[in-house]
Structure 1
Amino acid sequence: MGGVTSSIAAKFAFFPPNPPSYTLTADDSSAGKLHISEAPRREGVDVLKLRTRRGNEIVAAHIKHPKATATLLYSHGNAADLGQMFELFVELSLRLRINLMGYDYSGYGQSTGKPTEYNTYADIDAVYKCLKEQYGVKDEQLILYGQSVGSGPTIDLASRVPDLRGVVLHSPILSGIRVLYPVKRTYWFDVFKNIDKIGMVNSPVLVIHGTADEVVDWSHGKQLYELCKEKYEPLWLTGGGHCNLELYPEFIKHLKKFVLTLSKSKAPTNGSKKASLDSDTQTKPSEGATADTFELQPDLPEVSRNSLDSRLEKSKKSNKPEKSRMSTDRVDRFRRRKGLVW
């Protein structure tokens, strides 16, 4: 199995949208400021090109909230790029009242280079450096967010930065090989060895996973939760798949609660210890919808998103959680058969 598995780990871990979902334009009237051509222009949005230590130039977008209490660094899933994620980033910034920085890995969107595990580590490091140097973000103000394969660079950075405000793992993977095979130990050729790094993360960790995830089994999220040093109440979405968790009302409600709790825990307390986090006891899967629905603003063009797939349209008013909806195009069908969309 070793040779076959090694080949899969090396060659089939990444599926950047081809062609990219967006283009970049430079505004001559504002000193060449970059814009995503396919998205409406907004105040407080910076589109940047960042050079990584491995020589690639990656694209990132910083979205500013006027009343932000924290900054979220978002590492997206496998089969998506910045153009497809931009609408979600804007909505998360508004709903959570945070600044948000999203970026494309090397070889994704308009970023140069090839997508590899170690390039993603250099990519997130470049974004982290930009946040600290250009935007003045301190570690204790920063929340890392990793979706699916994005949990790899997220956990890697979190394991090296001890004073982060928090970490969110959305449908995370234990490792690349473990998505394909139920192996019991870590092989040298594996990619994104999150199972071996999560114990080095000192920050509070929120894990979100769907109980019916057909791509990355729910057991991945549960095991990572159990291995966390500082656990936050996890969110297990009953019936949730791999690409539709944002449609559940509990999703944004629980995420807001996490951000608010972290904000309170970092507030000055006259030398006393920071406020305790929510229960570290594993919660039961959610039973039904709440009133806090997650609706996207209608002023952005609808773009197909392989990683999200649900298109993040308004949740249907129903008492039952919406089932996972995977893309039906031929490429995604091939990836699902091979177990490679993560």
Structure 2
Amino acid sequence: MMRFQNPVSNSFCTLTIFSIVVISAFSFISCDDSIDPKTTYKERYILNFIIRGDTTLQIATLTSSYNVEGVDPSINEIDPAIKDADIKIWYNGEVYTLRDTTIARSDTSRYNNPVHCYYINNFPPAEGKSVIVKAELNNGKKLTAETKLPSNIGIDSCDRIIPLSYKNQFSIVWRKLEEEVYYFVRFRIYYKHNSEFHIVEVPLDYNTINGKVTPVYPGVTRKTIFNYELSALDSVMKNISLGDGQKSSYQIMRGEYEVIIMDKPLSDYYSSIHGYMDDFSIRIDQTDYTNVTGGYGIFASYRKQLLAATLKEEYIRSFGYKAGN
């Protein structure tokens, strides 16, 4: 087993891209909610593997269920990670083997040992391709799953020069993919202050409820049409240098649309826990979503698509900032 710190640790942290929303949610409980938790214990195995389309470094985890005294699973202090498994993926006529490693654990409130995971580097996922994963444990147990890497979206319209004199909004619109999938969307501004680079996200708009102003962001959605209010962009631009009289020390570099396209299994998983929820709903029938044969967990993928946007120089200068190159 190989143990190292980078680049896996850095990539592992970026998996929370969906904080969103996506990766941190893939911890599967050790028993089915519909079953009495203190019936005869049966060990189960959980494979979680999300292929990221924005990197060639991919990370998987393999764990087992566990039994505890009583009914509180949080008292368990024995790491359920499974080591020394054989995990392979079949892709585009090639077979790739994942290697096991450990990375530093940021939260040691429950487990003190490093996080055990499996990784593969230099794996180039391409849009629209099918991928199969097979994991074989030392006891002979096998887990398998398959997914199809999502394709890039086809843009119908996108405001790449902002703002436009005849519009109080800027927008991005694309065609829906054949499968019903979810997207994560955001528009961000890249700027520099005192030689340091910064990024700030722009909301679609602001709502005022009971006197409190709240930003509205796209979040995870099936929508494919997004209209950003120019007034929301104005607010973000002003707040970049809030309280600082040296406006000219800020340099606005660019704007950028980011769209993350989830594949069908990832969308199905998200829908299983959020699909028909609203602020007033309580779900009592939620089940563990899995697309892994022979066990539990999820094997899925997502793709990131970026579109650069230019903020007009006269607009930037209206806030006292400099326009970057």
Q: State if a TM-score over 0.5 links the two structures.
A: no
TM-score (norm 1): 0.21
Name which one, 1 or 2, has greater alpha-carbon Rg. 2
Greater helix fraction, Structure 1 or Structure 2: 1
Greater strand fraction, Structure 1 or Structure 2: 2
Greater relative contact order (CA < 8 Å, ≥ 6 in sequence)? 2
